[in-house]
Amino acid sequence: MPYGEQRRLEIARALAAQPKLLLLDEPAAGMNPQETHKLMEMIRWIKNEFNLTILLIEHDMSLVMGVCERIYVLDYGTIIAQGTPQEIKNNPRVIEAYLGEEVH
């Protein structure tokens, strides 16, 4: 079974327990762009179909921006920003922390 399918199956297995909270810790790690896109679609579907909270811990910012309504950004364990995807995308502290550039 391909890696992306294995990861999606793990998520489906977790849903079988009917949780109130679904914790996804780096679900896209090791996935290619096509697998990540399928994962994004699955997370969106879960968000729309189930009445549960999803806590996503992820470094793939396109995935985070594509599925999250509210984002908290950590830098060395400290929250440096929180907000909507658009607010995070434009936040100078986030840009500096993750791109290493000072925003003027």
- The string of pLDDT tens digits covering residues 62-71 is 999 999 999 9
Helix H or strand E encompassing 42: helix 33-49
Q: Is 15 left (phi over 0), alpha (psi -120 to 50) or beta?
A: alpha
- 55 and 15 within one domain: yes
Q: Give the pLDDT confidence score for residue 98 in this predicted structure.
A: 82
Q: Which domain holds residue 101?
A: 69-104
**6 or 51: which carries more pLDDT confidence?**
6
Q: What is the C-alpha separation between 71 and 69, in angstroms, rounded?
A: 7
Helix, strand, or coil (residue 22): strand
Q: Which residues contact 48 (CB under 8 A, 6 or more apart)?
A: none
CATH code, domain with 54: 3.40.50.300
In terms of domains, do 37 and 23 share one? yes
